[in-house]
């Protein structure tokens, strides 16, 4: 961490991420309080899943455009302008909350805010390699993505704390949503300190407009580029399966805290307060993954570490989640946070190492779109498989087995790929190397 933070450019990009994602946490908590935990509204599985689908599926359509633009425009400018635009849009959402507007108009407004967020997250990931050396990418991803996730949870925790402290009504939630504009503007001011071309792309092509044909060609080029790099293809497959299982667990947890743990008291609560505890547990797991993953990758390599994380995910959810009581769910979410962040660090790093800079925007946008589409598919699937209570042993067993089967398949692929590259007499990019080779040739990878 000290090696990374000594660089002023890395610190500036990190602070941009922290400010931006803190605002995301505040904004998302305001929406959750307004919609999901509003006692005047029902929250059966299909309602929750459809709400996510309305917000995330159209928002995922922005991903392809974001990718093409991020490989044509200054990523610094994208971060600056997008955060200002989000600050303006949350004012509109706050006004809708204050006016009691629900239904399509409210969802469309939230959708627009999340759509702009796609540019921010993609630009942060695509620009990161410009602020660190290649040997430090694992540690850089561990620190930046984890710190961003914790910042989002912190923002959500602050907002949830405010709801418990002041017993907010619609006007209070409107003020919370409006408050998220401040960190967005701070993020814009911070990233303005970069010179315009600093975050790439390396070969900047300024285009006044991007047509649907440009987007299609860009996405096809990005997909072909990924297909030419088996490590990138493999980790995207792992992430897709993980997000399906993660989505099912997310819906299960929301329903448990919305409909089953409503009367829980003492240290482990139900309702929105209990969900805050779950978020805190997930953040703790995320922090732990950030500390452990760089060391684990240096010692064992990325593929063995990802395999171990998937095994931990399957066993952890079966052993802990199956108790269906608040303390066990909090422990299961802590484990899941550790697994999810460890896998994400390795996936992000593999993509950054395996693809060329001129394709990173498009590849990360494909990644982000896959990230959201698989999540929504899981939610819609869970809406038909889960009871309103959220308690389902058969589905939990299927999730655990799914993690274990994915671990076995990925481990087999990694071993076969390593053997092929050994026969060819070269080290595979993005695949694990023997610990001795890793320590001698890439001490910080």
6: domain CATH number is 1.20.1250.20
pLDDT at 422: 56
pLDDT of 332 higher than 90: yes
- What mean pLDDT is reported for the chain? 83
What mean pLDDT do residues 185-211 have? 81
Find out whether 223 and 366 touch, Cβ atoms under 8 Å: yes
> What residues contact residue 114 under an 8 Å CB cut-off, 6+ apart?
55, 56, 59
Its domain, for residue 203, covers 2-439
pLDDT of 436 higher than 50: no
Q: Is 17 a domain residue?
A: yes
pLDDT of 434 higher than 50: no
Q: Is 445 a domain residue?
A: no
Which band of pLDDT confidence, cut at 50, 70 and 90, is reported for residue 438?
A: very low
Q: Is 283 a domain residue?
A: yes
> What is the tally of structural domains in the chain?
1
Q: Is 444 a domain residue?
A: no
Q: How far is CA 210 from CA 68, 84, 221, 340, in A?
A: 8, 22, 15, 34
Which band of pLDDT confidence, cut at 50, 70 and 90, is reported for residue 231?
A: confident
Q: Is 70 a domain residue?
A: yes
Burial class for 209, CB neighbours closer than 10 Å (0-12, 13-18, 19+): exposed
Find out whether 339 and 314 touch, Cβ atoms under 8 Å: no
Q: Is 164 a domain residue?
A: yes
According to the per-residue pLDDT averaged within each range, which of 133-137, 164-168, 260-264, 363-367 is highest?
Answer: 133-137
Report how far residue 222's alpha carbon sits from residue 210's, in angstroms, rounded to the nearest whole number. Answer: 16
Report how far residue 228's alpha carbon sits from residue 55's, in angstroms, rounded to the nearest whole number. Answer: 32
Report how far residue 345's alpha carbon sits from residue 330's, in angstroms, rounded to the nearest whole number. Answer: 23
pLDDT of 255 higher than 70: yes
pLDDT at 439: 36
Report how far residue 119's alpha carbon sits from residue 114's, in angstroms, rounded to the nearest whole number. Answer: 9
Q: What is the DSSP letter of 438?
A: H
pLDDT of 75 higher than 80: yes
């Amino acid at each position: 961490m000290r090696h990374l933070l000594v660089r002023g450019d890395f610190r500036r990009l990190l602070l941009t991420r922290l400010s931006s994602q803190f605002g995301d946490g505040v904004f998302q908590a305001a929406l959750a309080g307004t919609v999901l935990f509003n006692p005047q509204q029902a929250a059966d599985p299909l309602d929750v899943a459809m709400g996510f689908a309305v917000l995330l599926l159209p928002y995922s359509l922005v991903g392809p455009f974001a990718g093409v633009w991020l490989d044509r425009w200054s990523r610094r400018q994208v971060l600056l302008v997008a955060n200002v635009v989000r600050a303006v849009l949350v004012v509109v959402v706050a006004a809708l909350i204050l006016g009691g507007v629900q239904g399509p108009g409210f969802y469309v407004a939230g959708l627009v805010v999340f759509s702009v967020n796609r540019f921010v997250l993609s630009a942060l990931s695509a620009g990161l390699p410009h602020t660190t050396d290649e040997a430090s990418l694992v540690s850089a991803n561990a620190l930046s993505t984890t710190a961003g996730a914790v910042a989002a949870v912190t923002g959500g925790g602050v907002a949830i704390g405010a709801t418990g402290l002041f017993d907010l009504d619609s006007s209070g939630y409107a003020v919370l949503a409006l408050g998220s504009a401040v960190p967005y503007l701070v993020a814009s001011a911070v990233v303005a300190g970069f010179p315009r071309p600093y975050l790439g792309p390396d070969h900047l092509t300024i285009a006044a407009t991007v047509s649907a044909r440009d987007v299609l060609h860009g996405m096809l080029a990005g997909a072909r580029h990924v297909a030419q790099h088996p490590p990138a293809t493999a980790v995207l497959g792992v992430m897709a399966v993980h997000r399906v299982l993660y989505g099912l667990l997310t819906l299960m947890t929301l329903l448990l805290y919305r409909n089953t743990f409503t009367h829980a008291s003492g240290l482990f609560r139900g309702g929105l307060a209990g969900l805050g505890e779950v978020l805190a547990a997930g953040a703790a797991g995320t922090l732990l993954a950030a500390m452990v993953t760089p060391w684990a990758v240096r010692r064992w390599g990325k593929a063995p570490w990802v395999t171990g994380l998937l095994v931990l995910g399957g066993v952890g959810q079966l052993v802990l989640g199956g108790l269906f009581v608040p303390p066990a769910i909090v422990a299961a979410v802590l484990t899941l946070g550790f697994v999810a962040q460890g896998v994400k660090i390795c996936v992000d790093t593999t993509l950054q190492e395996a693809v060329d800079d001129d394709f990173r925007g498009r590849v990360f946008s494909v990644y982000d779109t896959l990230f959201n589409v698989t999540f929504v598919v899981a939610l819609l699937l869970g809406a038909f498989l889960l009871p309103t209570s959220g308690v389902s042993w058969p589905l939990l067993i299927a999730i655990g087995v799914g993690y274990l089967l994915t671990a076995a398949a990925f481990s087999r692929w990694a071993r076969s790929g390593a053997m092929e590259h050994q026969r060819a007499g070269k080290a595979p990019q993005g695949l694990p190397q023997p610990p001795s080779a890793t320590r001698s040739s890439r001490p910080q990878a």
